[in-house]
């Protein structure tokens, strides 16, 4: 119960990143190590869950239900948070074929095995049913099966998640000019924007293609000191390239910091590329947020290996 026993997380460190690319341009990049929040479930997903878990307890719920794919950081985080809080968790997982032989699925899939070991129950559904998960009839069928539950959307973004993400920034971030983070559903960046100061600009690096993201973020903040940089999604969600994998492996070697291929690798790649191309003026100070996601690496490496491609060194 360590990290949840108080309403604050432990302070995570901020590492200064030394790189000739940054040095040449006189840019200071510090990386906020949210990946160190928890050994297994790192980063922003716990921030997003904190106030939701407290709310579920306050409302007297016994179980949490949420949605995700078979490699989802959010699924892993909900499972672990449920275990820490003593709440049951139900994961509605995309892909009914995964439920046909659970033993084999658990053997092969690190994320689901981890969630299962935390006590999560799975409801495997077809891709069609998954797409219709927000309909009243689907929810009713879940209620019939599982009783009442506290529901958290796919990816975990809601008002309470954004409140949790405010806490990524703190008193020590006043001196930075830019704040950079990876974007999936937009909840994390919305919380960071809300907590940012007027002299700061927040740059989001979407991990997927999508024009809808700006509107998603605007649902949660009316501030305008932010911008999405849409050029570094590498073809879409969970898509990678040799160059990205090389970048992640080099970063690990040079900085001794592991990045993930879905979110933080793309963000740091993009940020480095912008710096190299002179996007920032001399002496700019950048606070980049390592949002974690490292539990997804074994699953990604399995898929890369199957395709005969280079893998992420861990």
Ligand X SMILES: *Cc1c(COP(=O)(O)O)cnc(C)c1O
Active site residues: 72
If binding is defined by CB under 6 A, does position 68 make contact with ligand X? Answer: no
**CB under 6 A: which stretch of 91-99, 260-268, 274-282, 300-308 binds ligand X?**
260-268
The answer to whether 260 contacts ligand X (rule: CB under 6 A) is yes
Least distance from C-beta 287 to ligand X, angstroms?
15
Q: Is 267 exposed, middle or buried (0-12, 13-18, 19+ CB in 10 A)?
A: buried
| 73, 102, 181, 244, 281 from 278: Cα distances, Å | 33, 51, 19, 20, 7
Work out how close the CB of 232 gets to ligand X at its nearest, in angstroms, rounded to a whole number. 13
Nearer Cβ to ligand X (43/82): 43
- Tokens, residue 312: 């992420």
* Per-residue x/- track, 289-308, ligand X (CB under 6 A): --xxx---------------
164 binds ligand X (CB under 6 A): no
For ligand X, which is the closer residue by CB, 13 or 99?
13
Q: Is the distance from CB of 292 to CB of 42 less than 8 angstroms?
A: yes
Does residue 33 belong to the site contacting ligand X (CB under 6 A)? no
Task: Answer whether 82's CB lies under 8 Å from 119's CB.
Answer: yes
Q: Residue 177 Cβ, how far from ligand X at the closest point, in Å?
A: 22
Binding residue (CB under 6 A) for ligand X from 82, 91, 164, 187: 187
Is the Cβ–Cβ distance between 105 and 112 less than 8 Å? yes
Identified binder of ligand X from the candidate list 76, 115, 152, 183, rule CB under 6 A: 183
10 Å CB burial of residue 5 (0-12, 13-18, 19+) is exposed
3-state class (DSSP) for residue 74: helix
Considering the complex, state which of residue 30 and residue 260 has its C-beta at the smaller distance from ligand X.
Answer: 260
Query: Can you read off the two tokens belonging to residue 74?
Result: 């959010």
H-only helix segments in the chain: 20-24, 44-58, 73-85, 102-108, 110-117, 127-131, 136-146, 159-166, 187-195, 213-218, 242-255, 264-276, 297-306
Q: Quick one: 126 or 134, whose CB is closer to ligand X?
A: 134
Nearer Cβ to ligand X (146/238): 238
Site map (CB under 6 A) of ligand X, residues 80-109, x = contact: ------------------------------
Degrees to nearest 5, angle at CA 114 with 111 and 116? 105
Q: Between residues 25 and 248, which has the closer beta carbon with respect to ligand X?
A: 248
Which one among 43, 68, 69, 265 touches ligand X, defined by CB under 6 A? Answer: 43
Structural contact between residues 261 and 296, judged by C-beta atoms closer than 8 angstroms: yes
Q: Which of 157, 173, 249, 258 binds ligand X (CB under 6 A)?
A: 157
C-alpha to C-alpha distance for 1 and 85, rounded to whole angstroms: 7
- Which residues are near ligand X by CB under 6 A? 43-45, 73, 155, 157, 182-189, 260, 263-264, 291-293
């Amino acid at each position: 119960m360590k990290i949840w026993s108080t309403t604050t997380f432990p302070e995570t460190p901020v590492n200064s990143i030394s790189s000739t690319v940054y040095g040449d341009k006189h840019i200071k990049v510090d990386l906020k190590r949210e990946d160190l929040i928890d050994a297994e479930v790192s980063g922003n997903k716990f921030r997003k869950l904190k106030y939701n878990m407290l709310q579920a307890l306050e409302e007297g719920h016994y179980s949490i239900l949420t949605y995700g794919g078979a490699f989802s950081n959010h699924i892993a985080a909900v499972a672990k948070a449920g275990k820490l809080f003593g709440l049951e968790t139900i994961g509605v997982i995309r892909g009914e074929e995964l439920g046909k032989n659970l033993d084999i699925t658990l053997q092969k899939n690190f994320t689901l095995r981890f969630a299962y070991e935390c006590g999560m129950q799975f409801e495997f559904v077809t891709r069609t049913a998954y797409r219709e998960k927000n309909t009243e009839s689907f929810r009713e069928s879940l209620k019939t099966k599982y009783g009442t539950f506290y529901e958290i959307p796919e990816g975990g973004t809601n008002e309470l998640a954004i409140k949790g993400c405010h806490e990524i920034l703190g008193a020590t971030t006043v001196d930075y000019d830019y704040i950079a983070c990876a974007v999936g559903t937009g909840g994390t960046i919305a919380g960071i924007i809300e907590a940012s100061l007027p002299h700061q600009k927040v740059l989001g690096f979407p991990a997927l293609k999508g024009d809808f993201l700006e509107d998603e973020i605007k649902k949660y903040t009316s501030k305008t000191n932010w911008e999405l940089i849409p050029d570094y999604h590498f073809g879409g969600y969970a898509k990678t390239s040799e160059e990205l994998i090389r970048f992640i492996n080099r970063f690990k070697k040079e900085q001794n910091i592991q990045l993930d291929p879905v979110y933080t690798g793309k963000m740091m790649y993009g940020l480095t590329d912008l710096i190299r191309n002179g996007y920032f003026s001399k002496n700019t100070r950048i606070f980049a947020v390592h949002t974690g996601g490292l539990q997804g690496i074994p699953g990604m490496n399995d898929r890369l290996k199957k395709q005969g491609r280079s893998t992420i060194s861990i």
